[in-house]
Amino acid sequence: MKLKLKIVPGAAQDSIAGWLGDALKVRVRAPAEKGKANTAVEKLVASALKLPQANVTITVGKTSAHKIMEITGLSKTEVIAKLEGNPEIGKTR
């Protein structure tokens, strides 16, 4: 499944802030240089979904704040349920 993301690199802490329209807003401490923020986003989302990092890949927007992530191993319904059911994630849909 494909998931739209809005990334905020250089944040004070790593967190999934919640929904911004149809995109998931993700904040990471890593800077937006040499793919560091992208790797941090993949690790954070994989952890939140309880998936191996190999199942979570940024496929579009590698140098943009707006990205599309490909997630394998879960359906769209399962991904949304896991994200919305996680108390660590903001609910600003």
Hey, what CATH topology would domain 2-84 get?
Conserved Hypothetical Protein Mth637; Chain: A; (3.30.1200)
Is it the case that residue 92 has pLDDT exceeding 50? Answer: no
Reported confidence tier of residue 91, pLDDT bands at 50, 70, 90: very low
Is it the case that residue 38 has pLDDT exceeding 90? Answer: yes
The reported pLDDT for the residue numbered 93 is 38
Looking at the whole model, is its pTM more than 0.85?
yes
Once rounded to an integer, what is the mean pLDDT over residues 47-73? 97
The mean of the pLDDT values for the chain is: 93
Q: Which residues contact 46 (CB under 8 A, 6 or more apart)?
A: 52, 53, 55, 56
Q: Which residues pair with 7 in a beta bridge?
A: 26
Q: Are 89 and 83 in contact (CB under 8 A)?
A: yes
